[in-house]
Amino acid sequence: MDRAHVERMAQALARPEILAHDPLGLTALRRALEGGDPPLGAGRRGALVGYAAGGPRRRLVELDRRGHLVAACRWREDGGLAWAKCLSAAGDWIGVEPGAGATRAWGRSDAIWRLAPDAPWEPREAITVFEGVDWARLEHIPPLAEPARLPAHAGTAVLDLLAGFMKDQGLARVRYRGPYPSETLFTALLECFRHDPAEPAPLDRFLGGGDLDWLPAPHERHWVAKGVCAQMREDLDKVVANGVAYYRPDWQAVTRREPRVIRAVGERRICSLWALGRSLEDRLVLSPAGEVLDAPTPRADPRAPVPFKPLWTAALAALIARESAPALNASIAETVAALALEWGAVPGDLLRMNGARARVSRRLLDAGLEWIREAPPGPDRGGRAGVLALEVARLLGPEVRRQAQARLEALPPDAQRRAWEAAETAGRRPLGDAVGRLLTLLAGGSG
């Protein structure tokens, strides 16, 4: 083990706010660092994990390369996990407490809490629960009761904690064991695991019942500037800057269609607002190691917001449903119908959700209509109109699906089961006239 890593961990353990998480365990770890085989793990990007001295491999603390605490665990004398906490990419402390909850679906559950940021373990808000697991002997990825209640990036932080434990325990392959595997869960798992590389259609297989092997591959989270978290494995996977998340487009064989992307340009990694195959605005420039090189000021747009034309509603519901689990069709239509959609200024982003109001950047509409008008009248304009409509649908899609899934999960179990059974027998629905009318409007140069 590199002595620089050992010294960095020792310096962190000398800080009272870190030592307070487990005074006995962390004091023993600090003493063990002086031995010939310190219980310490180092990530390729500079993250450090400190383990309990002696006995099974049980992680106690995780640090980023600047010494920020990323996760901490407390173990009971009987070898079980007392609690674990992790810092999400959005800067929220999220806690897991084994056996602290219960649901009718699976009985004994582990609770997820929002924690006070300035105490070792101080739950402030109950978020949700997931199926209880034996953290010392993990076997599968458990189902979560109410994913819609999770704060942004909290789910992937907890999944990364789970993947780290699994890797520590030598698990090579695991599966999700729960109801309703969804696209949202699939993309979250991609951040902390790798899907079976031999599977030619991993998403379809996962949506077909969760029957897909996952290989634990935890990431590293580094706070590289104020409000900026760089999430890394071999390269930058995700950057969260002041609450806005940017993703690299390629995840193994899966291409993520994201409106906020990380693109490689030589030795730079550029976080861009992306649509219509181009950057609408570059928001952050980083090195391959995730260090911030430049942070341009957001572009201003003084125009007042205006509502979407009514025909967008049904068309967006159809387009979002086309790329979602069929069981969500009805819930997606209800969710979109309940939204107040408007075009307006969204400084530094393309979308702002505020309760039932969704504001989409007017600059996206302007760029799309200009691009459509550049094409000669006829099929070319119609094709570009379709691209613009899909861009808006995919921008709204993640939040719409999240709300639609919450609607479905709020139904009685029998109603949920009927929705999934009906979806299994129904074929893919046609997009319908609403989409055609919207494309005609856009192809005519109006939105």
Structural domain boundaries enclosing 335: 306-443
Q: Which of 161, 195, 220 is the last residue of a domain?
A: 220
Pair of tokens at residue 170: 């030598």
60 and 207: one domain? yes
Which tens digit of pLDDT belongs to each residue from 252-302? Answer: 888 888 899 999 999 999 999 999 999 999 999 999 999 999 999 998 899
Would you state the pLDDT for residue 208?
A: 85
In a domain, 301, yes or no: no
What's the pLDDT tens digit per position in 114-173? 999 999 999 999 999 999 999 999 999 999 988 888 999 999 999 999 999 999 999 999
pLDDT of residue 362: 95
User: Last residue of some domain: 188, 220, 252?
Assistant: 220
Looking at the structure, tell me whether residues 135 and 11 fall in a common domain: yes
Residues in the chain with pLDDT values less than 50: none
Give CA–CA dist 373/386, Å, rounded: 13
Q: Residue 299 falls within a domain, yes or no?
A: no
In a domain, 127, yes or no: yes
* Structure-token match 């109950």, residue found: 126
**Amino acid at position 172, single letter:** A
Q: Are residues 248 and 189 in the same domain?
A: no
Boundary residue ending a domain (272, 294, 316) = 294
User: Is 349 found in the same domain as 288?
Assistant: no
pLDDT in the model for residue 101? 78
The count of domains in the chain is 3
Could you give phi then psi for residue 355, rounded to 5 degrees? 65, -120
**Rounded Cα gap, residues 342 and 353, in angstroms:** 11
288 and 388, same domain (yes or no): no
Same domain, yes or no: 288 and 322: no
Q: Point out which residues pair with 383 in neighbouring strands.
A: none
Separation CA 37–CA 430 (nearest Å): 63
Question: What's the confidence (pLDDT) of residue 426?
Answer: 62
Residue 67's Cβ-count burial label (10 Å; 0-12, 13-18, 19+) is: middle
| 289 shares its domain with 143 | no
In three state form, how does the secondary structure of 68-128 look? Answer: CEEEEEEECCCCCEEEEEEECCCCCEEEEEEEEEEECCCEEEEEEEEECCCCCCCEEEEEE
Could you write out the DSSP letters of every residue in 20-42?
A: TT-HHHHHHHHHHTTSSS-SEEE
Does residue 300 sit within a domain? no
Q: Is there a single domain that holds both residue 209 and residue 278?
A: no
Distances in whole angstroms, Cα of residue 411 to Cα of each of 333, 355, 398, 406: 16, 21, 20, 9
| 340 lies in some domain | yes
pLDDT computed for residue 209 by the predictor: 84
**Are residues 268 and 333 part of one domain?**
no
Give domain status of residue 33, yes or no: yes
**Residues 247 and 284 reside in one and the same domain:** yes
Do 254 and 154 reside in the same domain of the chain? no
Specify whether the CB–CB gap between 61 and 49 falls below 8 A. Answer: yes
Residues 233 and 318 in one domain: no
- Assess if residue 64 is contained within a domain: yes
Contact partners, residue 335, CB within 8 Å, separation at least 6:
317, 400, 403, 404, 407
